[in-house]
Amino acid sequence: MTVFGSRHREAVSARGRLCAGIDPHAELLTQWGLSVDADGLARFADTCVEALGPVAAVVKPQVAFFEVFGAAGFAVLERVITGCREAGALVLADAKRGDIGSTMAAYATAWLDDASPLCSDAVTASPYLGFGSLSPAVDLARAGGRGVFVLARTSNPEGAPVQLADADGRPVGQRIVDAAAAENADGTGTLGLVVGATRAHGLDLAGLNGPILSPGLGAQGATPSDLPEVFAGADPSWVLPASSRGVLRSGPDVAALRAEFTRTRDEVERALA
């Protein structure tokens, strides 16, 4: 079994440090000339898999935008996960799950167990019921060579009162970073973090030894040139900026969508070099 940190490094070495978000929200479906229903979702998703699956190191479907269409939406999401993985991309399910005990174990099974049709290479998770509540997901991910990306300092301004709150002399967000770093002391890189690219985060990320998903490029205002300053002190080889709408607005033409992704990816690589 190859551990997740190694799988991640191999992928970004071959395909670059840009995560391709797949966010089929109603505005984009309409912009692409598609119906806002399960049929439009399926056409949108198939285009994204064809354009991005063969070139992105990591593809990040936003689960909520599939879930809104019920069972039909989850069926399309299953196709996205399978198609992108078959095309050589790692799939990071952006589900932001977080709960306790048997419920968290069930979420972990849904997203990280080979037997599940939703099984992905990694999943996002919220630690704000206590970092230890994520143990079922962390344990299952480690056993299967998969990853868990934990919310530390998100790109939305509303997160600050919680994530920057003082907890015995350290911000809560830094405690999340430190707990993830402790889990990664085994060298697996199982624990990643979510740290937005839209502002100074104030976290010490130097000892994480795992990937840092950084949403916010494009529609949320961050640019590749911002990344060296935002992530000064972090190992740039672990930084994984993400762009969703900034790339997807170039659809529905497959060639144009792929070209916009590769252009943005190359900007990111130059900025982080």
Q: Which residues are known to be catalytic?
A: 96
Q: Write a three-state SS string for the chain.
A: CCCHHHHHHHHHHHHCCCEEEECCCHHHHHHCCCCCCHHHHHHHHHHHHHHHCCCCCEEEEEHHHHHCCHHHHHHHHHHHHHHHHHCCCEEEEEEEECCCHHHHHHHHHHHHCCCCCCCCCEEEECCCCCHHHHHHHHHHHHHHCCEEEEEEECCCHHHHHHHCCEECCEEHHHHHHHHHHHHHHHCCCCEEEEECCCCCCCCCCCCCCCCEEEECECCCCECHHHHHHHCCCCCHHHEEEEECHHHHCCCCCHHHHHHHHHHHHHHHHHHHC
